[in-house]
Chains A and B, each alone.
Chain A
Amino acid sequence: MIHTVKRYWRLYKVLIAQFFKVVLQSKVDFLMGLFGFFLSQFMGIAFLYLVFEQIPSLQGWTLDQLIFIYGFAQIPRGIDHLFTDNIWLVAWRLVLNGNFDRYMLRPMNIFFQVISEKLQPDALGELLVGSILVIRCMMKGIVVADGVHIALFFVSIFAGAVIYTAIKLFFASLAFWLKTSGPFLQVAYEMANFAKYPTEIYAKGIRFIITWIIPFAFVAYLPASYFLGVDGPFGTGGSGGVVAIECIIAAVFWFVAYALFQKGTSIYESAGN
């Protein structure tokens, strides 16, 4: 067991080293990617500013609080994006054109092979923007920053990243049945954007969906409100209960998504038929 972990880690190190080489070789491309992300994040913030020109607060939330939620949401998203970006290729093309074959031919875990094939440098843009916004809010003193909150902050980020990965993996796995599931994954992934706002603004059914079906609310808004010291919809108040629920959701979704992925690889049809 330890032997296997060591072997996987050795391989991952080779790939990370490769990643840094590629980043250093193509600085312009890397900066271009960062720029693209900065721009899209900037637009999101600008939208909030424009809206708050017209209104004093959004159902009781201040602009600064919304910016924290927005920034906090970027961090788990960025972590997932950095490490598992290759899942997109499974959804769009690898199954369709049969290039998924190569993972089936190597004596290693298939999921590991898929994600280890690529680290996405663009994700550093999200991580950077997210960190800057979160730090800004901490300096403004609008977040609770005691020991428990800080510890749970990291737990929540990790669980959030797992939820992202699980959702991506789930929709990408549909490609084994549909040949390409890119559009589905795209739409599901983009729904994360809407969980960047307080979910009370939505009708019940929709709130239910983004909380429990595609649970992006647990990646962004719900834990963020806990760190802001605001009572969440579960009445868990100041306790970290919402982070506990987030962890349970992360575990459940991960197992479901991974099971679907494994089922998918077992019915994989390759290309050329």
Chain B
Amino acid sequence: MIEVKHVSKEFVSPKKYPGLKGAIKGLFSNEKVVKKAVEDISFSIEDGEIVGYIGSNGAGKSTTIKMMTGILKPTLGECIINGIDPSKNRKDNAQNIGVVFGQRTQLWWDLPLSESFTILKEVYNVSDEDYKERMKFLNEVLGLPEFFSSPVRTLSLGQRMRADLGAALLHNPKVLYLDEPTIGLDLVVKDNIRKAIKIINEKYQTTVILTTHDIGDIEELCSRIIIIDEGKKIYDGSLEELKDTYGIRRKVSMEVKKQEKLKGLNLAEKLGASSEECCMEFDEENKILSVTFDKHKLQVPQVMNAVMEVTEVKDIQIQETELAQIVKEIYNHGIDGKAV
């Protein structure tokens, strides 16, 4: 059980001024800039959940993860991870968690991977039997043997990520934090990593918290997502609910034969919807009419019929709003308070 209670984190840094003159000015000034990276965030996560923690760059994702793992101390509030406050009891918390940062390895760069595991065995005080059993499982799931004796610096990104994941799991942590675990990987490797995460979660009931920019990760892994923007939590709920709430718009694109016949057509009025619930766009060059509408209000055939009454339609395409689109919109425009 993970509880994050009203956590805030501020960073204080000396004020910087632009330009060369500014650099000189900066030498003699004492002004400080306070940046609120995370502001009053709360949530709780049950054992065995896989939670996607998403937000745009600089939204405060990594800062939150770093507070939960004990790297940073919160300015306000507290994180309780399985009854332990990492800012007070770092070592005990560290024994219970595994962490993978996609952008940087935690393995010993110059040593063969096997040596890293030998060292980690001692670091986490893993018994010989447990070590054997875990390695057997990790070898199966992550395919470590093919590069087990190579120095870490010689591994490909995909291999390194598998190695890092294995290293984070050696001591069978209750909670696994993954910070962009699939960044820069190709599709096949991504898929393997996701599968591995799923298997681990199912077999050991490991709680997984992952941050990612990859919508695929979220769709395949996460039953629940938390979205944060500018340091504030703006959504916390299931994936379906998010799709339901924000994926209500559907778009039908039709290539028409005679564009002049569309003049004066007002679909919203014709179908008895407001202009927000149904809006038209026309691409003159390709003769494509796009209608975006609320799927709870109107049906696709209704819209098509209304258009076909006026002109002949050559081709038709129906688009459901994808999660990527939803997330993008949320990043761009924020979220209405009422929506959550």
Which B106-154 residues have C-beta < 8 A from chain A? 106, 108, 110-111, 115, 118-119, 122-125
Would you call A18 and B111 a contact (CB within 8 A)?
A: yes
Complex alpha-carbon distance, A107 and B69, angstroms? 11
Complex alpha-carbon distance, A10 and B126, angstroms? 12
Q: Is the C-beta of A11 less than 8 angstroms from some C-beta in chain B?
A: yes
Would you call B115 and A269 a contact (CB within 8 A)?
A: no
Q: Is the C-beta of A102 less than 8 angstroms from some C-beta in chain B?
A: yes
Query: 1/0 per residue A65-108: CB within 8 Å of B?
Result: 00000000000000000000000000000000011011011111
Which B72-101 residues have C-beta < 8 A from chain A? 72-73, 90-92, 94-95, 97, 99, 101
The verdict on A15 contacting B125 (CB below 8 Å), with A104-B69, A273-B11 known, is no
Which A residues lie within 8 Å of B197 (CB)?
none
The B interface is mostly helix, strand or loop, or mixed, namely mixed
Which A residues lie within 8 Å of B123 (CB)?
11, 106-108
Complex alpha-carbon distance, A9 and B51, angstroms? 38
Would you call B115 and A10 a contact (CB within 8 A)?
A: no
Size category of the binding interface on chain A:
20 to 34
Would you call B62 and A269 a contact (CB within 8 A)?
A: no
Q: Shortest Cβ distance from A180 into chain B, in angstroms? A: 14
Complex alpha-carbon distance, A108 and B119, angstroms? 12
Residue of B nearest to A100 (CB): B71
Would you call A99 and B104 a contact (CB within 8 A)?
A: yes
Complex alpha-carbon distance, A106 and B125, angstroms? 11
Would you call B106 and A105 a contact (CB within 8 A)?
A: yes
Q: Is the C-beta of B35 less than 8 angstroms from some C-beta in chain A?
A: yes
Would you call A270 and B111 a contact (CB within 8 A)?
A: no
Q: Shortest Cβ distance from B336 into chain A, in angstroms? A: 29
Q: Shortest Cβ distance from A206 into chain B, in angstroms? A: 28
Which B residues lie within 8 Å of A104 (CB)?
69-71, 90, 94
Which A228-273 residues have C-beta < 8 A from chain B? 266-270, 272-273
Which A residues lie within 8 Å of B106 (CB)?
101-102, 105
Choice from B72, B101, B125 contacting A7 with Cβ under 8 Å: B125
Would you call A7 and B122 a contact (CB within 8 A)?
A: yes
Q: Is the C-beta of A43 less than 8 angstroms from some C-beta in chain B?
A: no
Which B residues lie within 8 Å of A101 (CB)?
66, 71, 101, 104, 106
Would you call A108 and B101 a contact (CB within 8 A)?
A: no
Q: Is the C-beta of A139 less than 8 angstroms from some C-beta in chain B?
A: no
The verdict on A270 contacting B72 (CB below 8 Å), with A7-B125, A14-B119 known, is yes
Residue of B nearest to A117 (CB): B108
Would you call A22 and B94 a contact (CB within 8 A)?
A: no
Which B residues lie within 8 Å of A10 (CB)?
122
Which B residues lie within 8 Å of A14 (CB)?
115, 118-119, 122
Residue of A nearest to B35 (CB): A273
Given contacts A18-B115, A270-B71, 9 further A-B pairs with CB under 8 A are: A101-B66, A105-B69, A105-B71, A109-B91, A117-B108, A268-B71, A268-B72, A270-B66, A272-B62
28 A-B pairs (CB sep. < 8 Å): A7-B122, A10-B122, A11-B119, A11-B122, A14-B118, A14-B122, A18-B111, A18-B119, A22-B110, A101-B104, A101-B106, A102-B106, A104-B69, A104-B70, A104-B71, A104-B90, A104-B94, A105-B70, A105-B97, A105-B106, A106-B124, A107-B91, A108-B91, A108-B123, A266-B73, A268-B72, A273-B11, A273-B63
